[in-house]
Amino acid sequence: MKLWGGRFTGRRDPRFEKFSESFSLDQRLVFYDLRVNFAYVMELGRVGVFKPAEARRLIRGLEATRRSVERNPGWARGQSSEDVHTWVEAQLERRVGPLAGKLRTGRSRNDLVATEARLFVKDATRDLAQALADMMEALLGQAQRHGRVVMPGYTHLQPAQPILFAHYALAYFQMLERDAGRLEDCRERADELPMGAGALAGTAYGLDRERLARALGFARAASNSLDVTSDRDFVA
């Protein structure tokens, strides 16, 4: 049964099947999905939604899935799941049975995907910032080593004035420094937890969202559920 199945029965056009799947792209989120599910199960256990034995079984199932992915670099090859979240749930069900369905208690695909996207962006911006720092250090080194080298400076595609190569290299240093600032701003904006926002208007379960935010490494829990489940500006 597809996530969008419902009244759609019978043969489906394979072109639509290809159009609707996202597994080929979001498989990169698999460890984030496992991490969020783990923290969420722990939280539901703390507030009494899950019995201790249920929480332990789910956690063992998630840990077994994580180890399986780590041991098998080609884990995603040949999979038919629509997305990575469906795949994780299917793997969990294979390990713990119908109890896996309780993983959806009090949450939506909306706040789950938003949370994982933010975790991904936080890591990606940190990696990019490190790459920028390495590039800036290299430019600075070149400028210092070749400080007296003269080259033509161009304007409107025409040679205009003589400039130092160091001056040219440090222009790119300044550009990358601005990019580093933009990445840091992006990371700060992404650093808030959507989980607990549900589909758009929260959940009736008594989650401690600040505790869940700390468990997942977020600086804070989002203050508006409608905003955080729809916001993807930080991805752009």
pLDDT at 4: 60
What CATH number does residue 100 fall under?
1.10.275.10
Tell how far CA 225 is from the center of its chain. 18
User: Which domain range does residue 71 map to?
Assistant: 14-105
pLDDT at 2: 60
- Beta-strand pair 220-221/192-193: parallel
In the predicted structure, residue 172 carries a pLDDT above the cut 70? yes
pLDDT tens digits, one per residue of 18-61: 787 889 899 999 999 999 999 999 999 999 999 999 999 999 99
Q: Are residues 204 and 119 in the same domain?
A: yes
Q: Are residues 117 and 99 in the same domain?
A: no
Q: Are residues 89 and 171 in the same domain?
A: no
Is residue 6 assigned to a domain?
A: no
Polymer length in residues for the chain: 236
pTM over 0.85: yes
Report H helices in the chain.
14-20, 23-26, 30-46, 52-71, 84-96, 109-145, 165-190, 209-215, 225-230
In the predicted structure, residue 1 carries a pLDDT above the cut 60? no
Output the CA torsion 218→221→226→230 (10° steps).
0
Q: Are residues 67 and 84 in the same domain?
A: yes
Among 105, 124, 145, give the residue marking a domain's end.
105
In the predicted structure, residue 99 carries a pLDDT above the cut 90? yes
In the predicted structure, residue 154 carries a pLDDT above the cut 80? yes
Please compute the mean of the pLDDT values over residues 113-118 and round it to a whole number: 96
Q: Are residues 139 and 206 in the same domain?
A: yes
pLDDT tens digits, one per residue of 185-206: 999 999 999 999 999 899 999 9
Q: Is 1 helix (H, G, I), strand (E, B) or coil?
A: coil
Distance CA 171, CA 140 (A): 10
Q: Are residues 92 and 145 in the same domain?
A: no
- pLDDT, mean over the chain: 93
Q: Are residues 36 and 124 in the same domain?
A: no
What CATH number does residue 200 fall under?
1.20.200.10
Distance CA 5, CA 154 (A): 60
Lowest mean pLDDT among 29-38, 71-80, 170-179: 71-80
Q: Are residues 114 and 226 in the same domain?
A: yes
Distance CA 55, CA 75 (A): 26
Q: Are residues 160 and 99 in the same domain?
A: no
Confidence of residue 6 (pLDDT cuts 50, 70, 90): low
Number of domains in the chain: 2
Is the Cβ–Cβ distance between 136 and 178 less than 8 Å? Answer: no
